[in-house]
Amino acid sequence: MQAGETAEIDPARTAAVVLVGGQGSRLRPLTLTTPKPMLPTAGVPFLAHLLSRIAAAGIRTVILGTAYRAEVFEGFLGDGSALGLDLTCRPEPEPLGTGGGIRYAADALAPGFEEVVVFNGDILSGVDVRAVVGEHRAAGADATLHLVRVPDPTAFGCVPTDPTGRVTAFLEKTLTPPTDQVNAGCYVFRRDVLDAIPAGRPVSVERETFPGLLAAGSRLQGHVESSYWLDLGTPASFVRGSADLVQGAAPTAALPGPVGTALLLPGAKVAGSASLTDGTTVGADVQIGEGARISGSVLMDGARIGDGVLVERSVIGPGATIGDDTVVTDAVVGDDASIGASCELLAGVRIWPGLVIPDGGLRFSGGA
């Protein structure tokens, strides 16, 4: 097989591991009750979008590496058959980190699987999985990483490669990175390489496994692909990713409605003079008052939005209430919180679940 070719995936030989055990601390308070991969994103749990892409690549067997709030996943996914997958949740006895989580999940795979594709459970990506596998096989690599080029590599550790695509280093964040290629959170491993990750203790795949393999002379390949890519780890990227899915800018086979400027779930009641734009999602049974303007935001199930409200690039948690004429911009309102009339929530502010803020023009700014 030549470099640059996509591979046929044989579902009896290639399986997937999806890591979903993190605490999602940057997305609190939304993740206090719901783990990040289960947050509703364009109308369904984010994980449904990722699993739809895995199924579309031809993979059938998926192990979900869970730790934080493991029970939430099992309740929703069952055995995965509704998604065309054979899915098993594998809760860790204690959080094992990314590398330890991969090892623990892969231990549940039958011996016949020779190759494992690993996905971080919070990355929204259009990567061509067959192309990553194709490059891995063509290079005869021990492991292959999907790499993306980012506009500001100073915010990431970077991963330089030589002209053949072989990884030459794993570099920490620096003000003068020698490349704009960064780890995109999707890997292909030969099975025996996975089996060599230490069992029974926390391991970081980024800081321990990959640098260790490189130091030992293993062949690590970088697959650079500039398809859609977004890490949904922060509130700002979470609302952007959801809006991109609604508007068709991010690939998915799990959108519960047509691509458009807004997505409405069943039972939503929107006043005739309200406007919904820029990829807004309106969850089930949400109510939106007259003259409200909602742009690029996620309104979760049962939220109530008063008359004349402006919501921009924000998340309104399930059951939360926003009083008349309030402005919510770049903010997160937690589950069942109640915001009075004529308040301003701006620039990164986060309201904790159940909090009550009275009417009266209060102004909160998170300083973001």
- Write the CA distances from 91 to 12, 16, 172, 178, integer angstroms: 24, 16, 30, 39
Residue 107, SS3? coil
Cα-flanking dihedrals φ and ψ of residue 174, to 5°? -150, 160
Q: State the nearest-atom distance from the C-beta of 210 to ligand GTP, in Å.
A: 14
Which positions touch ligand GTP (CB under 6 A)?
Answer: 19-26, 36, 65, 67, 92, 95-98, 101, 120-122, 233
Which residue, 8 or 71, is less far from ligand GTP as judged by CB?
A: 71
* Rounded least distance, CB 223 to ligand GTP, Å: 19
- CA dist., res. 183 & res. 146, Å (int): 6
Shorter beta-carbon distance to ligand GTP: residue 145 or 309: 145
Looking at the DSSP bridge assignments, the partners of residue 181 are 149
For ligand GTP, give the closer residue by CB, 232 or 333. 232
Q: Which amino acid is at 183?
A: N
Output 18 or 141, the one with its CB closest to ligand GTP. Answer: 18
Q: Cβ 26 to ligand GTP, closest distance in Å? A: 3
Conformation bin of residue 354: beta by default, left when phi > 0, alpha when psi is -120 to 50: left
Choosing from 173, 201, 269, 363, which is the catalytic residue? Answer: 173
Q: Is 36 a catalytic residue?
A: no
Whole-number minimum distance, CB 21 to ligand GTP, in Å?
A: 2
Amino acid identity, residue 305?
I
CB 256 within 8 A of CB 274: no
119/37 Cα distance (integer angstroms): 12
- Catalytically active residues are 173
